[in-house]
Amino acid sequence: MSLLEDMSSALGIASLEAKGGSGGSGFASTGVAEDTSTGKRYFYKKGNDSADEKMLSAEFAGVKAMHETKTIRVPEPLVFGSKSDYVSGPFVVFEYLNIGGVGDGREMGRKLAQMHRCLSENGKFGFHIDNTIGATPQKNTWENIWPDFFIKHRYHAMLDKCSNLGFSDSEVKEVEEVIRRVLSEVDVVPSLLHGDLWGGNGAFVEGGEPVIYDPATYYGDREADIAMTQLFGGFGGDFLAGYNEEYPLERNFESRKLIYNWYHIANHYVLFGGSYMNQARGMMSQIKALGK
């Protein structure tokens, strides 16, 4: 069966037809399909191999967790089609959203803050499935303590992928100790995070409602999401003002922001190389200096 036939079967509708050209989203191809009877549209992602299937399954689980909070809007996750169930799998199908509207950044901040008040049921940090940050595998093994989670599954996991960025083992350990101290200065609860909240993953639909998508979801420190909104641009002062109205940031946020954004810059070095190496090294040196 074709991809459109398999998606029709999974959705329980008679037939779909492709609408518009297909594109790409990292490891997956993307497209829009329309119900031939009702005209309702769907957005889909299509992978190829078992690695793609794991990524799509994790994305589906992350969007589902965010959707179930009924806070900030995300594309409703409709079906995940595995390779074992569908010849054309793996694929995921989401609600189609007409993105490109103009909206209130303050409202987006408030809605994200509401999602961050949704905590893990087991009181731990992590997620029930591993996922990816970009194309980089990301472990989400549950941990009781936030600094333990970040140091094991973000700090060391990323350094292992880039040969410690040229730092000695003793320097890596010294930075680890600073990270543990800084992240222990505030009481952190396991908030549901988007996990990859740069400007390209947030927008407004027609009518102005804020929406976020393409997550790398896990339960962690909510300030990790806010830190990333300030890394690559796209979220203005109104966004932060709205967030703080709903759920104020803790003291000394700037120190934690440096730590959380180091992870993403180091990941960009893993993915793209180039000048991100020096930027990631510089940020590690800045983190080290926090201990003095």
Q: Quickly list DSSP for 125-163.
A: BB-SS-EEETTEEE----BSSHHHHHIIIIIIHHHHHTG
- Phi and psi for 73 in degrees, rounded to 5? -75, 140
Q: Among 204, 205, 199, 207, which Cα is nearest to 231's?
A: 199
pLDDT in tens, the chain (292 residues): 699 999 999 999 999 999 865 655 556 789 999 999 999 999 999 998 888 999 999 999 999 999 999 999 999 999 999 998 988 889 999 999 999 878 999 999 999 999 999 999 999 999 999 999 999 999 999 999 999 999 999 999 999 999 999 999 999 999 999 999 999 999 999 999 999 999 999 999 988 999 999 999 999 999 999 999 999 887 988 999 999 999 999 999 999 999 999 999 999 999 999 999 999 999 999 999 998 7
Dist CA 141 CA 138 (whole Å)? 10
Q: Over the Cα atoms of the chain, what is R_g?
A: 20
Q: According to DSSP H, which parts of the chain are helical?
A: 3-11, 50-67, 105-116, 146-150, 157-161, 169-183, 222-229, 237-246, 253-272, 276-289
pLDDT at residue 25 in the model: 59
- Which residues are the active-site residues? 196
Half-sphere exposure of 23 (CA within 13 A, CB side): 6
pLDDT at residue 291 in the model: 85
Partners of residue 136 on adjacent β-strands: 133
Dist CA 96 CA 270 (whole Å)? 32
Note the pTM of the prediction, 2 decimals: 0.95
Residue partners of 132: CB distance under 8 A and separation at least 6: 55, 58, 138, 216
Domains and CATH numbers, the chain: 3-95 (3.30.200), 105-289 (3.90.1200.10)
- Take residue 260 and report the two structure tokens written for it: 């959380």
pLDDT at residue 26 in the model: 59
Dist CA 54 CA 133 (whole Å)? 13
pLDDT at residue 22 in the model: 61
Q: To 5 degrees, how large is the angle CA 180–CA 214–CA 223? A: 30
Dist CA 74 CA 112 (whole Å)? 11
pLDDT at residue 145 in the model: 98
Dist CA 54 CA 49 (whole Å)? 9
